[in-house]
Amino acid sequence: MGSAAYGELVSVDEHFVTYRFADDDRVKWDGTVVIPVDDVWKWQVTGSSERPFAAQAIVTKANRRFKDVGEWPRFVAFQS
């Protein structure tokens, strides 16, 4: 069985990028992930110490896109 994750950009400023994320496109959102621009791997899910797969997948794919084109994507989808 494959994995999936979906993300939508909420905000971007000079310090943080924020995405809503879910592991099912039929569910509105599972949570919000906040990504520090200066160290993306220190990302956190708002209100939780958990690091769910869906959030990690969104961070990884959004960061890759940012490195490729220089801006954070509005929508992110991951499937394996």
What is the domain partition of the chain in residue ranges?
4-79
Which of 15, 18, 16 is closest to 7 using CA atoms? 18
Q: Which residues pair with residue 7 across a beta bridge?
A: 21, 76
The answer, as to whether pTM is greater than 0.85, is: yes
Q: Which residues pair with residue 47 across a beta bridge?
A: none
**Coil, strand or helix at 16:** strand
Is the confidence at residue 23, as pLDDT, over 70? Answer: yes
Residue 3: its pLDDT value, please? 85
Tokens 């490729």 sit at which residue? 68
In degrees rounded to 5, what are phi and psi of residue 3? -115, 155
